[in-house]
Amino acid sequence: MAFRTLATADRGAVRTITINRPDKLNALNRETIGELTLAFRQAQQDDAVRVVVLAGTGEKAFVAGADIAEMTGLTPVQAQTFSHAGQVLMRTIEGLGKPVVAKIQGYALGGGMELAMACHLRVASEKAKFGQPEIGLGLIPGFGGTQRLTRLTGRGVALELCLLGQQIDAARAERLGIVTRVVAAEELDASVDAIADQLAVAAPLALKGILDAVIEGGECAIDQGLAFETQGFAIAFSTEDMREGTAAFLERRKPTFHGR
C-alpha cells in the first residue's frame, strides 16, 4: 500500500522504512505512528525481508519528537490513547524477530529518541543529538522513554536526561550505551548498509533466537534467562540453517542460509 508519511524501499533482503515529514523534522503524529506500525508488521510478515533499516528524511533530523501541534489539543483520554499507540509501535519494533537498525542523523529527541531506543542497533552520525526534553513541556516521556532509557543506561542517567531535559551529543550517547556506533556524517549511509548487508546473509532463525533471548530473556531473573537461552540453543539444532552453517564451517566455505 502507499503511505502518506513514509517511504519504503527494498534492497535485496533489506527493507528501508523512511519517515517522510521533513517540513516537521519527521515528528511523530498519530498518522505516522499508525503507518509505522503497519509498515513494520508488513516487514515482519514478508519472508523476503530479513533486516529493516529505519531512517528519517533530510539531514536535520531522524525524528525531532512527537508532533507538538497535534498533542496540544489532546484530552487526557486521547493522550492515553496516543501514548498507548506509540508504545504498541515500539513493542512491535522491539519484538519484530528481525534486526532493526536505526540510521540516526541530526535530532533524535523525545519520541524520536524513544523510537531509536526500540530498534536493536543504533548507528548515529557524529552530528546527531539526543534528548528527552518533555519536562520543558510539563510532560513526561510517553512512548517508553523512562523504561528503555533506564534499561540501557541505568537509573541515574535516565533520571538526569529526563529530569533536566538537556540534549547530549552522539559521543556521549555512545558512551552511555544509547547508541551502538557513531560514524562521520558522510559515512553514515555506507556504515548502515554494511551492517544491514551482514545481517541480511546471517541465519534468520538464529537472528530471531538471539533477539528473543536478549530482549525477552533479559527481562527475566538470571536462571529464567539462562533457561530461555538453552531452549533457543536446542531449537536451533532442529534447523536446516544450523546444518548448513556447521557444514560450511567444516568445508571452509561461506554458508547460504534460507531461514529453515
Helix (H, G, I), strand (E, B) or coil at 128: coil
Angle at 31 between CA 27 and CA 32, to 5 degrees: 45
- The two most distant CA atoms of the chain are separated, in Å, by 64
Distance CA 186, CA 114 (A): 25
Asked if 59 is an active-site residue, the reply is no
Give the integer Cα–Cα distance in Å for 180 and 201: 20
- Residue 125 main-chain phi, psi, to 5 deg: -65, 150
* DSSP-assigned letters across all residues of 154-210: -HHHHHHHHHH---EEHHHHHHHTS-SEEE-GGGHHHHHHHHHHHHHTS-HHHHHHH
Burial class (CB in 10 A: 0-12, 13-18, 19+), 106: buried
Catalytic residue, from 59, 134, 186, 240: name it. Answer: 134
Place of cell 548448513: 244
Catalytic, 134? Answer yes
Least Cα distance to 44 among 101, 93, 115 occurs for: 93
d(CA 133, CA 130): 9
Active-site hit among 59, 70, 114, 186: 114
Place of cell 546527531: 128
CA atoms of 213 and 209, how far apart (whole Å): 6
Which residues are tagged catalytic?
114, 134
